C-alpha cells in the first residue's frame, strides 16, 4: 500500500466549496489533479468559484440545510473518492443569559446535522481508499465569552468524527479544527470592527497572523492524502489554544 494517496483523477466533493476554506481546499485538490465537485446554496457564487478552478471541475447549487437535497445530490453524482464538508453560515455568537434557544437550535443544522446527512448519503458511494473530512473549530477547545453554542458544535464534530471513523472503517473519517481564518464567515461583523478583531487576534497568536484559507486547506489535503489517520481532529490555529 502507498503511504500517500495520489489525487490524480480522484473525485473530491467539497460541500461548501464556493468560498473560504472549502474553495481553497477545492483549488488545492484540483492543483494535484483531482476532479473537483463543489457545492453551495448559491449558483452565482458557484459560477464565480468555478472560474477559479480548472476546466472539468463541476459545481452544483444545493441548499444543504435539507436532507432531501443532499440525498438527491449524491444520487445524481454517483461514486466519489473523497468528501470534504465545510458548509456553514455566518457565526451566531452571544452570551448565555440572552441566548435565543430556538434560534440556537437552528444553528446546529448546517454544521452538524447536514454534515451527518452528507456522510449518511455519501458513505456508500465512496471508493476504496477514500476519505471523509469534516470541519470543526478550535473554539471548542478554547472558547471565548459568547461562544457557548459555537463551542458546543465544535466539540460535537469531534465526537461525530470518532464515531463515524469506527462505523465506516476502513473509510477514513477525520476533521479539521481551524482557528481564526480570513473568510466571509466574519461578514456580519462591520468591516472596521473585523479588521480590528483580526489585528488583535494576530497580535495574540503565536504565529502573529490570522490564517488565509489556503493555510487551512493544507490540513484537509493532508488528511485526504495520507493513509493512516482516522477519527482524528487536527487543530490548525496559529498557536491560538496556547496563547
Ligand X SMILES: NC(=O)c1ccc[n+]([C@@H]2O[C@H](COP(=O)([O-])OP(=O)(O)OC[C@H]3O[C@@H](n4cnc5c(N)ncnc54)[C@H](OP(=O)(O)O)[C@@H]3O)[C@@H](O)[C@H]2O)c1
The three three-digit cell numbers of residue 144, written as one number: 471565548
| Cβ proximity to ligand X, 77 vs 129, nearer residue | 77
Taking residues 44 to 83 in sequence order and writing x for each that binds ligand X by CB under 6 A, - otherwise, the string is: -x-----------------xxx------------------
Touching ligand X, residues 195-214 (CB under 6 A): none
Contacting residue, 7, 12, 13, 19, with ligand X by CB under 6 A: 19
Choices 4-12, 119-127, 162-170, 175-183 (CB under 6 A): range interacting with ligand X: 175-183
Binding of ligand X at residue 193 (CB under 6 A)? Answer: no
121 contacts ligand X (rule: CB under 6 A): no
41 near ligand X, judged by CB under 6 A: yes
- The residues facing 176 across adjacent strands are 135, 234
Has 233 been annotated as catalytic? no
Query: How far apart are the C-alpha atoms of 148 and 7, rounded to whole Å?
Result: 38
Q: Which residue in 161, 171, 183, 230 binds ligand X (CB under 6 A)?
A: 183
* DSSP alpha helix (H) spans, the chain: 20-31, 43-50, 67-77, 101-108, 114-122, 148-168, 191-204, 213-225
* Cα four-point dihedral sign 219, 29, 54, 72: negative
CA-to-CA dists, residue 198 to 20, 131, 190, 227, 229, angstroms: 16, 33, 12, 35, 32
Catalytic positions, written as ranges: 136
Amino acid at each position: 500500500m502507498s503511504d500517500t494517496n495520489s489525487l490524480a483523477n480522484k473525485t473530491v466533493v467539497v460541500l461548501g466549496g464556493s468560498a473560504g476554506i472549502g474553495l481553497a481546499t477545492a483549488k488545492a485538490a484540483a492543483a494535484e489533479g483531482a476532479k473537483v465537485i463543489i457545492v453551495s446554496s448559491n449558483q452565482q457564487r458557484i459560477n464565480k468559484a468555478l472560474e477559479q478552478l480548472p476546466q472539468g471541475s463541476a459545481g452544483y447549487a444545493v441548499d444543504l440545510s435539507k436532507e432531501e437535497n443532499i440525498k438527491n445530490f449524491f444520487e445524481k453524482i454517483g461514486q466519489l473518492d473523497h468528501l470534504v464538508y465545510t458548509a456553514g453560515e455566518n457565526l451566531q455568537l452571544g452570551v448565555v443569559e440572552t441566548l435565543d434557544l430556538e434560534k440556537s437550535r437552528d444553528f446546529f443544522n448546517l454544521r452538524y446535522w447536514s454534515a451527518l446527512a452528507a456522510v449518511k448519503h455519501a458513505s456508500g458511494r465512496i471508493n476504496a481508499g477514500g476519505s471523509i473530512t469534516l470541519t470543526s473549530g478550535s473554539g471548542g477547545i478554547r472558547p471565548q465569552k459568547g461562544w457557548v453554542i459555537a463551542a458546543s458544535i465544535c466539540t460535537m464534530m469531534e465526537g461525530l468524527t470518532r464515531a463515524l471513523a469506527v462505523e465506516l472503517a476502513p473509510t477514513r473519517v477525520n476533521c479539521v479544527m481551524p482557528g481564526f481564518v480570513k473568510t466571509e464567515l466574519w461578514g456580519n461583523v462591520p468591516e472596521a470592527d473585523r479588521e480590528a478583531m483580526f489585528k488583535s487576534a494576530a497580535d495574540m497568536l503565536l504565529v502573529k497572523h490570522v490564517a488565509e484559507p489556503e493555510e487551512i486547506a493544507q490540513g484537509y489535503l493532508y488528511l485526504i492524502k495520507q493513509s493512516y489517520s482516522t477519527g482524528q481532529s487536527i487543530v490548525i490555529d496559529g498557536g491560538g489554544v496556547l496563547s
